[in-house]
Structure 1
Amino acid sequence: MTKNDIWRLSATALTKLTRTGELSAEQAVQRAIDRMHQVNPDLNAVAEDLSVEALQKARALDQAVVRGASPGPLHGVPVTIKINVDQKGHATSNGVVALKDVIAPNDAPIVTNLQNAGAVVIGRTNTPEFSFRADTDNDLHGRTHNPWGRHISPGGSSGGAGAGVMAGIGALAHGNDIGGSLRFPAAANGAVTVKPGLGRVPAWNPSQPAERGILAQSMSVQGLITRSAADLHLSMPSVIAADPRDPFHVSMPWRGAPCDTSLKVAFTKNTFGYALHPEVEKALDTARDALVDAGYLVTEIDPPDVFECGRAGYRALMGEVLTLMKDDIEAAGSQTIRNIFEVYFQEFPPITDTDLIRMLAQRTHYAREWSLFMEDYALVLSPFLPQPFFGPDRDTDGAEGVHEVLGCAVYSYAMNFLGLPAACVPARLAQLPKGPQPINVQIAARRWREDMAVDAAAAIESRVGQMCLPLWDRMDAAL
């Protein structure tokens, strides 16, 4: 391995070197920074370059080890942080021009946990305005591009995170997810992620002027986007460390008890009347076969009504947004985001007033139905989107565009409303007329069993391979 190859290493491979002293934290971070400087001018995934600060922290880690300190589990691993989460001394702009000078007084819990584990933040990644699009563009930092090509959106709202980590800008990328914002970028870029369940990762922004709405609190989660499932198993135990600033955090170990028998998986291709693209169907079949070969018991059966649950949950969220956020969007948002929200409210008619209170109660019914179903089926393998990922700015194309981007994504936001964990993993590299494109599938898991979802993602990955490898061949040919 040459020094120029270090940026290619997974976090798992990298820590085997940094924790034994074969590679210094400074060397690992420097190579990631070099890669960032090489590819980010074209991608615009990283909105704030923290190279100077990162190298100082990496050197401090190395010096601490020399003095006898034990290296952390993520010693020297370069990571990125999304610009909607607090990092002390940096702007938590959320992609909004009016918030560009909101400087965080302290770190959010996930930043604290990553740095306590020895990870080094090399940059802050781009997000759409208010982190409320499945695409990534804003008037403050501009558009992020997908490393596979400009025929595909990078996803959102953690689009900078997904594009950056797949392009080699750090081994781990922080993101968050209220309706799919970890999984959309994973699907767009061919990355791997797991949306943690409710309460699994502590969350809070010290810069926020008021508490968020109850659905924003209970549907939104913090997590990581990676290039391999193994890196989730490596990093998530550090990310879920308790923090008293989140009073509803559930402190549990990453690994749950092993199952006594082979895991049963519910497999569904149901897309509720939306056309299932042949490439998505092939990806689902590949994922199913991979799980069968790995010893899972896969049965084709529909879980409880995802469509009803997902649409109800997102309509409730839109009711909360209409009540608590609309004035801010109107005052500080661009015309583009204001237009998109108007169409959101058409696609998902907001549930408000007494009906919203009733829907918050009904949420427990949906969650109970899934809990009972998952007593028999520990995992649910499903599409993530029924079609290959859409192009940039598709959600600006009025009702038709928003319907394609979010309307059909019920498997995504249903998991947020239910509070269940869900992994998203590539299962096929499709060769489409506009160019190659990864196709991801989703694996939902029992409550508190993110580890099971990641195990299944690893089994699929072992069949399909890591999408970063053909991507880097494509990028190298273009450089």
Structure 2
Amino acid sequence: MTQNDKSSDPRPLWQWSATEIATATHRGALSASEVVEAALDRLDAVNPDLNAVVEVCVDAARAEAKALDASDAPKGPLHGVPVTIKINVDQKGHATSNGVAAFKDVIAPDDAPVVANLRAAGAVIIGRTNTPEFSFRADTDNPLFGRTHNPWGRHVSAGGSSGGAGASVMAGIGALAHGNDIGGSLRFPASANGAVTVKPGLGRVPAWNPSQTRERGLLAQSMSVQGVIARTADDLHLSMPTLIAADIRDPLHVPFPWTGTAPETPIKVAVSKNDFGFGLHQDVSLAIDRAASALTNAGYVVEEIEPPLVRETGEIGYRSLLGEVKTLLGPDIQEHGSDILQGIFDDYHKVFPPFEGTELVSMLGQRSRYARAWAEFMETYSLVLSPFLLQPFFAPARDTEGVEGVTEVLGQAHWSFVMSYLGLPAGNIPTHVAQLPYGPVPIGVQIAGQRWREDLIVDAMQAIEREIPPMCTTLWAQVMSECCT
């Protein structure tokens, strides 16, 4: 029997990767309907406890799968792969609530580009995933749908703002989960749940919500990106070429192929454990060492060296973003945000005082200075391996506990903000599970890459996974064994 035939693989279909599913559906060993039914069954089994998917698309998913099975058209690269969409992006006929009760009736007139691209590739949307209010927290909870829980346990946050996406994909609800990232919203939940992701760089994935009534600020346009959270690096190589397909509705999209020119080998990787004075937890240090060792064994040249202006770039970047957000989004948060969100927003400003007025305009101009310094550095070091967070992932609602809580959640996230502000691609991959007194916590590390070279980041993550198995195997075997058999 051939590899990935259902009859020869003892695993339930919900455990199959997107790559395995697509291979089987292309060969005719599996139908799209079989895969979708397995995903919907899994959703029914675990989502009531997790609250990751807040809108289930049962009838539409079954109809789409049936249409795929009946079609004689060429099969797309994601034929029959079940996916979820985050509720802050337009999906025709569905509410783009963004976790805000006041927006629960904002019905999308059409699909956003990322949704259209996934459909065109043959993916089947099975549901929409939770996000915090306005997608502006690193934890996922809101008055409209409630809290999303982490499949590793309720001792650790599911992350945010794509927390529903991270929890759902690691629990087996769909093989891919759409998310987006402006300051870390793909990478926070990937790290929290033990998933893999790559935050695309500036202009890579076309973006626009047909339901929107005004344009976003320039900094948001240049920092916010669309992507997916997956369980394996292979699935990123499968899915990301689909996401970057051009869409005329995004005039700033960069029509650059997924795979760039073959780099000179061996590829040099800079490793930094800079903790910016916060302290680096021993389990995070170990996770970096494990990633560095795997890359070395794969033939990469790994050197400990400090990239330029790291702390300054992160702080200036986040304070600039908060300045723009305070000006453009602040009134909406004051009018429609919960008391909890407004309190967190105020505490953000105490930790990272937002630039305003002339100072904000001046600081925005400095972005090119930082980007130039990093471009020169990455001419030699194509990849940069670093922590993502300096401590193991935080507890649910930690950011509601005043300045100290916000500092733990965002104050230690400089490595995230650096890549967001510069518009550089950055991946997150788990390499270790910290066995802490309150429970197991996966530890993700960050791998940043040259502009428009997401492919090199995913190559490196594949090399790491050849030594360190995907974290879903540990999760399903050790934590979710009762519901996964």
Query: Does 1:318 pair with 2:325?
Result: no
Give the secondary structure class of the aligned counterpart of 2:428. strand
User: How much has 1:291 moved relative to structure 2?
Assistant: 0.4
User: In the aligned structure 2, how far is the partner of 1:83 from the partner of 1:50?
Assistant: 13
Render the CA deviation track for 1:207-254: whole Å, top value 9, x for unaligned: 011000111111100000000000000000000000000000001110
Render the CA deviation track for 1:321-347: whole Å, top value 9, x for unaligned: 111111100110000000000001111
Render the CA deviation track for 1:139-193: whole Å, top value 9, x for unaligned: 0000000000000000000000000000000000000000000000000000000
Give the secondary structure class of the aligned counterpart of 1:19. helix
Give the secondary structure class of the aligned counterpart of 1:193. strand
Residue identity opposite 1:77 in structure 2 = V
User: How much has 1:478 moved relative to structure 2?
Assistant: 5.5
Query: Does 1:112 pair with 2:152?
Result: no
User: In the aligned structure 2, how far is the partner of 1:217 from the partner of 1:476?
Assistant: 42
Q: Which runs of 5+ in 1 are unaligned?
A: none
Q: What is the match of residue 283 of structure 2?
A: 279
Render the CA deviation track for 1:373-423: whole Å, top value 9, x for unaligned: 000100000000110000000000000000000011000011010000000
Q: What is the match of residue 28 of structure 1?
A: 35
User: In the aligned structure 2, how far is the partner of 1:55 from the partner of 1:77?
Assistant: 12
Query: Does 1:12 pair with 2:19?
Result: yes
Q: Is the contact between residue 71 and residue 118 of structure 1 (CA under 8 Å) also seen in structure 2?
A: yes
Render the CA deviation track for 1:57-87: whole Å, top value 9, x for unaligned: 01011111xxx21111100000000000000
Query: Does 1:449 pair with 2:443?
Result: no
Residue identity opposite 2:338 in structure 1 = S
User: In the aligned structure 2, how far is the partner of 1:461 from the partner of 1:344?
Assistant: 36
The TM-score, its normalising length taken from structure 1, stands at 0.98
User: In the aligned structure 2, how far is the partner of 1:106 from the partner of 1:434?
Assistant: 45
Q: Which runs of 5+ in 2 are unaligned?
A: 1-5
Q: What is the match of residue 84 of structure 1?
A: 88
Residue identity opposite 1:219 in structure 2 = M
Query: Does 1:165 pair with 2:169?
Result: yes
Query: Does 1:233 pair with 2:240?
Result: no
User: In the aligned structure 2, how far is the partner of 1:452 from the partner of 1:124?
Assistant: 30
Give the secondary structure class of the aligned counterpart of 2:364. helix
User: In the aligned structure 2, how far is the partner of 1:105 from the partner of 1:477?
Assistant: 42
Aligned length: 476
Match of 2:58 among 39, 42, 51: 51
User: In the aligned structure 1, how far is the partner of 2:124 from the partner of 2:51?
Assistant: 20
Give the secondary structure class of the aligned counterpart of 2:431. strand
Query: Does 1:435 pair with 2:442?
Result: no
User: How much has 1:4 moved relative to structure 2?
Assistant: 6.9
- 4+ long deviations beyond 6 Å: none
Residue identity opposite 2:23 in structure 1 = K
Q: What is the match of residue 137 of structure 2?
A: 133
**RMSD after superposition:** 1.0
Q: What is the match of residue 476 of structure 2?
A: 472
Q: Is the contact between residue 75 and residue 118 of structure 1 (CA under 8 Å) also seen in structure 2?
A: yes
Q: Is the contact between residue 426 and residue 461 of structure 1 (CA under 8 Å) also seen in structure 2?
A: no
Give the secondary structure class of the aligned counterpart of 2:239. helix
Give the secondary structure class of the aligned counterpart of 1:331. helix
Match of 1:462 among 452, 461, 466: 466
Q: What is the match of residue 359 of structure 2?
A: 355
Q: Is the contact between residue 4 and residue 31 of structure 1 (CA under 8 Å) also seen in structure 2?
A: no
The TM-score, its normalising length taken from structure 2, stands at 0.97
Q: What is the match of residue 38 of structure 1?
A: 45
User: How much has 1:477 moved relative to structure 2?
Assistant: 2.4
- Percent identity over paired residues: 64
Residue identity opposite 1:117 in structure 2 = A
Residue identity opposite 2:22 in structure 1 = T
Q: What is the match of residue 416 of structure 2?
A: 412
Q: What is the match of residue 331 of structure 2?
A: 327
Match of 2:219 among 215, 223, 228: 215
Residue identity opposite 1:475 in structure 2 = M
User: In the aligned structure 2, how far is the partner of 1:245 from the partner of 1:17?
Assistant: 34
Q: Is the contact between residue 267 and residue 301 of structure 1 (CA under 8 Å) also seen in structure 2?
A: yes
